[in-house]
Chain A
């Protein structure tokens, strides 16, 4: 545990070093949400028929959950360690599990801090009417974070091997944002494409977030959380794949190359 804590601390110290990076993260989310606030204000009648809450409320909950995946902290940290050529020191057989867990936890802390800051902000300004079940929310963000991390680590495995995993990471993010209902409910997507939504964990997280944020749905009344648990089985697989990539990269001789 001490190793993980020190690695998380290292990530924080690096983040703090770039004074405005945490602020920019917060403000980019804030301004994105503002855009949707304006869309809701002026195009309400066009979008609302597909939703049982107003469009901005829908976007607010889905976007904060989407943040757990779209911030790409895991892939970016690994890419940065490769760029700084310090990566080979961190992925010795003995450290690799600690390294990955530290990234998962760090990413979770950043996204959760952001989520609660926005909840407080929304409560104080009174722009939204929540009816949150906080226990379910905690369970949802924990399980969502684990299932999204699996996907991030799988992407990072490609970065380690092919050095251009950012493109894959960007593609996944775009596919997720389109098919899992981040910006519009998946009911809007044609029936032909909807099966894609069903294989993405983000779809279930967003559905669950909507229920938890506005309908006070409990863990037991939110079957999407149970489905998300199934996606968590990819986490050990992602660790295995990452270790395999590091091993292959050592054989190719490109572990510290970018």
Chain B
């Protein structure tokens, strides 16, 4: 279970010292299952997901994982996977498979080539594995990041606008896989478009702002 308690975050500059408050006293609770946060652009969805992942440290508040209060100095980032803007996740000069292998090794995870091939076929990117990321379309890179996330198999998976670059057919395939694994994991999808998650995320698990 994942709980956020009174989280506030401001982006700051040192010289001159400026503060731009983005998240103010936010509390949320997530169990296993599929959740969605729907909010307009600029609300702070990406910021919130980055805080949960450990890429940002909040000004105040607590993050509790399975009843244990986390310390930001030693935050368990490896408990989470984050799907964010495709171009920021992979080295463009490396192939898809090289990128995936690098991050799996850094995370102490096994490189299961059979599993990678299996998922790449499902996602329709089996011919792209040995292509450099810069040769791929944004949609194909997004699918490659889905592939990495599925292989990582983390307990909590965070998605920032996951379907914005992906065609409808692939979106449906990914959604059906996410529905399947949602009984075992916490999946949080942040989006600004409600129609993307309509009929996919249970109404009671939709947090709208």
User: A92 near B78 (CB under 8 angstroms)?
Assistant: yes
A252 to B19, CA, bound (A): 9
Closest to A16 in B: B93
CB < 8 Å neighbour of A94 from B56, B77, B85 = B77
User: B98 near A253 (CB under 8 angstroms)?
Assistant: no
User: A253 near B12 (CB under 8 angstroms)?
Assistant: yes
A88 to B13, CA, bound (A): 18
A159-172 vs B, CB cutoff 8 Å, 1 = contact: the mask equals: 00110000000000
A10 to B100, CA, bound (A): 12
CB < 8 Å neighbour of B88 from A6, A85, A247, A250 = A85
Contact size range, B: 35 or more
User: B75 near A93 (CB under 8 angstroms)?
Assistant: yes
Interface residues of A in 29-83 (CB under 8 A from B): none
Q: How far is the CB of B90 from chain A (nearest CB, A)?
A: 7
Q: Is A108 part of the contact surface with B, judged by Cβ < 8 Å?
A: no
A115 to B41, CA, bound (A): 53
A10 to B132, CA, bound (A): 13
Q: Is B102 part of the contact surface with A, judged by Cβ < 8 Å?
A: yes
Q: Is A254 part of the contact surface with B, judged by Cβ < 8 Å?
A: yes
Q: Is B113 part of the contact surface with A, judged by Cβ < 8 Å?
A: no
Q: Which A residues touch B87, using CB under 8 A?
A: 85
Interface residues of B in 40-57 (CB under 8 A from A): 47, 50, 54-57
Q: Which B residues touch A88, using CB under 8 A?
A: 50, 55
Q: Is A116 part of the contact surface with B, judged by Cβ < 8 Å?
A: no
User: B73 near A247 (CB under 8 angstroms)?
Assistant: yes
User: A92 near B9 (CB under 8 angstroms)?
Assistant: no
Q: Is B200 part of the contact surface with A, judged by Cβ < 8 Å?
A: no
Residue picked from A84, A88, A253, most chain B C-beta under 10 Å: A253
A247 to B106, CA, bound (A): 19
Q: Which B residues touch A86, using CB under 8 A?
A: 88-91
Q: How far is the CB of A9 from chain B (nearest CB, A)?
A: 8
Q: Is B32 part of the contact surface with A, judged by Cβ < 8 Å?
A: no
User: B106 near A93 (CB under 8 angstroms)?
Assistant: no
Q: Which B residues touch A10, using CB under 8 A?
A: 91, 94, 98, 102
User: A95 near B106 (CB under 8 angstroms)?
Assistant: yes
Closest to A256 in B: B88
Given contacts A18-B93, A89-B89, 17 further A-B contacts (CB under 8 A): A3-B106, A6-B102, A10-B94, A84-B88, A85-B85, A86-B89, A90-B106, A92-B77, A93-B54, A93-B74, A93-B75, A94-B78, A94-B107, A250-B56, A250-B72, A253-B10, A253-B11
Q: Pick 26 A–B contacts, CB within 8 A, sort by A.
A: A2-B105, A3-B105, A6-B105, A7-B102, A10-B98, A10-B102, A13-B98, A17-B94, A84-B88, A84-B92, A86-B89, A88-B55, A89-B89, A93-B74, A93-B75, A93-B77, A95-B106, A250-B56, A250-B72, A251-B56, A251-B59, A252-B14, A253-B10, A253-B47, A254-B12, A254-B13
